[in-house]
Amino acid sequence: MFEIAELESPVGPLTLAARRGRLCALMFSRDWDDVAERLSRRLGETAWRTESDPAGAVSAVEAYFGGDVDALTTFPVEMNGTPFQCNVWSAMRDIPAGAVASYGDLAFRIGAPRASRAVGAASGANLIAIVIPCHRVVASGGGLGGYGGGLDVKRWLLDHEQVHTDSGVLATAAAGR
Assigned CATH for 83-170: 1.10.10.10
What are the residue ranges of CATH 3.30.160 in the chain? 2-65
Q: Residue 49: what residue type?
A: R
What are the residue ranges of CATH 1.10.10.10 in the chain? 83-170
Just list the catalytic residues: 134
Nearest in space to 100 (alpha carbons), one of 150, 154, 160, 172: 172
Tens digits of per-residue pLDDT, 55-72?
Answer: 999 999 999 999 999 999
Domain with residues 2-65, CATH architecture: 2-Layer Sandwich (3.30)
Tens digits of per-residue pLDDT, 137-177?
Answer: 998 887 888 888 889 999 999 999 986 444 444 444 344 43
Question: Residue 126: is its pLDDT beyond 70?
Answer: yes
Cβ-contact 136, 167 below 8 angstroms = no
